[in-house]
Amino acid sequence: MRADKLAFKVFKNFVAFKTGKSSPLFASYNVTSRCNMRCAYCGWWKMEKLELPTDKALSVIDNVCSLGVSFFDFSGGEPLLRRDLATLAKRASFHNCLVSMNTNGTLLKKEDAPKIADAFDIVVVSLDGPREYHDKIRGVAGTFQKAVEAVKMLKSHGVKVGVNSVVSPWNIEILPKFVEEIRSIVDFVQVQPVHPYPPPPENKPPTEKVLALQEYLLNLKREAPGFLAVPTEFIQGFRLFFNGKTPKICDAGRLYVAIDPAGNLLACAARGDIALGNLLENSGEEILLGKVDSSQGGWVKVASCKGCWLECTVGVSMTARKPFKEAVYMARLL
Ligand SMILES: C[S@@+](CC[C@H](N)C(=O)[O-])C[C@H]1O[C@@H](n2cnc3c(N)ncnc32)[C@H](O)[C@@H]1O
């Protein structure tokens, strides 16, 4: 990935966005629905096992990259379950994208680390708290230890490594202490509230705990704006999110898109049911222009969606609306 070419693409994405054109800045490809974890709040591991063979996955990546995407993320399911992951990531890199991955980190083998490190610019490892919290939430003992080992391995190979923590009633109290503990071993942290939205009662932490976390994170953002890799307004929305009162901030299918394991272009990563068309049958451009069969009602579902509060959707929208405010974080990525 060449920094100057990427910077130019980001600039073009922003200009297109400001002038009301569809030009996705960010794409997330869920390369497999298989997962080796049993996370309490996630439904991927209960889904039908699905993924495209390498040649078709590469064609889907080419198709989406031809839209001028700047940031290309690999997720799932668990992306490291795919043996061809580095090949897929390299293809997005070939298109001058900044290439990242979301992983639980548990499947990274020492012998594979150099290849993975070479293929990815950024890796975000999921960690929801210290060992006893993380292993309980993920449903598999030993997960925390393996994730931390993956962080260290990738860092030693020069990858920019971050942690993503999902905020839920089960970890909200210990998150500030946990973030302080991992500050010395990672480049950045992301935090995002547990979905769906609006939250069901069992997902709502007590208000005073949400406010305490918000206060800690806002202080951290002031002190180390590049380390806390979500916009300030994103943090400010936590209380509203858990009360079901966040505004709908949505640029799905315009500023960001996602790809499901079957090669469908989704309007966003937040909702697997909002398919706009299939990338093996149509070009991404035709799909985004609405020139394909719309019987699944993708755009209607986008319009009637109640919204979400995820870093890969709302966080991207906030950054694109105020790019200079978030310049510190953006500059670190480039
Ligand atoms: C679906 S996972 C897939 C990638 C990989 N298996 C992992 O665990 O990082 C991507 C990210 O979404 C987060 N996630 C899963 N379910 C969520 C939910 N209900 N609300 C918010 N984030 C969630 C995970 O913790 C992880 O950081």
Local structure of residue 191 (DSSP, 8 states): E
The residues, any chain, with a CB within 8 Å of residue 297's CB and separated by 6 or more, are none
User: Which residues approach ligand 1 with their CB closer than 6 A?
Assistant: 35, 41-42, 44, 75-76, 78, 102-104, 126, 164, 166, 192, 194-195
Weakest-pLDDT range from 39-48, 199-208, 291-300: 291-300
Where residue 286 falls among pLDDT bands split at 50, 70, 90? Answer: very high
What would the two tokens of residue 333 be? Answer: 């990525």
Confidence at residue 115, expressed as pLDDT on a 0 to 100 scale = 98
State the Cα–Cα distance between residues 182 and 173, nearest whole angstrom: 16
* Residue 243 scores a pLDDT above 80: yes
Atom 6, ligand 1: residue with shortest CA distance: 78
For residue 42, how far is its CA from the centre of ligand 1 (angstroms)?
Answer: 7
The whole-number pLDDT of residue 333 equals 53
Q: Which residues, other chains included, contact 259 with Cβ-Cβ below 8 Å and sequence gap of 6+?
A: 27, 28, 29, 30, 60, 64, 265, 266, 279
Taking only the tens place, the pLDDT of each residue in 57-88 is: 999 999 999 999 999 999 999 999 999 999 99
What is the distance in A from the centroid of ligand 1 to the CA of 32?
A: 13
Assign 10 a pLDDT band (cuts: 50, 70, 90). Answer: very high
| Ligand 1 atom, smallest distance to 125 CA | 9
Q: Taking a C-beta distance cutoff of 8 angstroms, is the pair 246, 307 a contact?
A: yes
pTM equals 0.96
Question: pLDDT tens digits, residue range 159-180?
Answer: 999 999 999 999 999 999 999 9
Place 21 in a pLDDT band, splitting at 50, 70 and 90.
confident
Preceding peptide of 247 cis, ω within 30°: no
Q: What is the pLDDT of residue 186?
A: 98
H/E element holding 163? Answer: strand 160-167
Q: Which of 273, 275, 268, 269 is nearest to 253 (CA)?
A: 268
Could you tell me which residue, 333 or 62, shows the higher pLDDT?
62
Give me the residue spans of the domains in the chain.
3-333
* Residue whose CB lies within 8 A of the most ligand 1 atoms, among 126, 127, 170, 309, for a mutation test: 126
CATH topology of domain 3-333: TIM Barrel (3.20.20)
What residues contact residue 21 under an 8 Å CB cut-off, 6+ apart?
A: none
| Assigned token pair, 327 | 């310049």
